[in-house]
Amino acid sequence: MAALGWLTPRRRSATARSVLAGEAAAEAARKSSQTIEALQELEGEQAPPAEPVFPVAGDVHAAAFFDLDNTVMQGAAIFHLGRGLYKRKFFHRSELARFAWQQAWFRLAGVEDPEHMQDARESALSIVKGHRVSELMTIGEEIYDEYMADRIWPGTRALAQAHLDAGQKVWLVTAAPVETATIIAGRLGLTGALGTVAESVDGVYTGKLVGEPLHGPAKAEAVRALASAEGLELERCAAYSDSHNDIPMLSLVGHPYAINPDSKLRKHARARDWRLRDYRTGRKAAKVGIPAAAGVGALAGGTAAAVALHRRRR
């Protein structure tokens, strides 16, 4: 056996062997760590860059533009305004029935029908004719508390607040009367509002519009004009809407969002990889809001007709 001694290393103490093993393991660990770091760097180069934080804090050349009806608020502002004016006896029950029918359609169909919206605007203009602007502003504050405050979508409100927290200005852009839009913007702490302007002389409404309703392409033109005046860069701005009618406005900015989108906007947004957010309990609003006076026959009939029409379309 002694002849095999040259094949067998001399015995060392346990302590010496432990030190040797530790030193070898440490050296191997250092080498493996270097290898892992190199692989991680390589993977990092190949991985797609993370999505940048948006909105960008401190970007004073960016702003956000929010549609109102069914984007920021459930339902249409002009219909809620009509409910409040009826309560204050600005018009008769027969006209309330028309407002109820229009509101039922809007809530059930989930889209802005041009004919209904135009009819609602004409009704509102005839109702306020001869009244003072200051009077409607005061009443509008009350109507907001009564019919609108609890219909603000929390999710959309949070999006607007994110822009405000980033130091950016936030505007509502809506076909609703500018006075109503301004009240809502003020209550939500937003910068201001772009809305349809009703003509007034010496502070009294004439029953006519200045230009046309702020709808569709007109919204895009309003945003473009405001951006120019404010020194904004549209490709750094964001816009939010539920309606395909607002595609011109959404296409104008670098960050378009489809909020509670109708079917046409949803399809358009998906085709262009726009961001989508839906805060409804279903694809369409689940609740149907009818004025408190809905017990009268005319309103009940209008609601039933809206339901029937909605079912036929489905």
Per residue of the chain (314 residues), give pLDDT as tens: 444 444 445 554 555 654 555 555 555 555 544 545 554 554 454 544 445 567 888 898 999 999 999 999 998 898 898 889 888 888 776 666 665 555 555 444 545 556 555 665 666 677 788 999 999 999 999 999 999 999 999 999 999 999 999 999 999 999 999 999 999 999 999 999 999 998 999 999 998 888 888 889 999 999 999 999 999 999 999 999 999 999 999 999 999 999 999 999 999 999 999 999 999 875 443 333 322 222 222 222 232 333 333 333 34
Contact present, 81 and 124 (Cβ < 8 Å): yes
Q: Among 85, 65, 86, 69, which Cα is nearest to 77's?
A: 69
* Residue 58: partners with Cβ closer than 8 Å, 6 or more residues away: 166, 167
Q: Is the pTM of this model over 0.75?
A: no
Name the residues annotated as catalytic. Answer: 67, 69
CA distance 231 to 221: 15
Distances (CA, A) of 42 to 31, 38, 172: 17, 6, 46
Q: Where are the alpha helices (DSSP H) in the chain?
A: 14-46, 77-87, 93-109, 114-128, 133-143, 154-165, 178-187, 217-230, 247-252, 263-271, 297-313
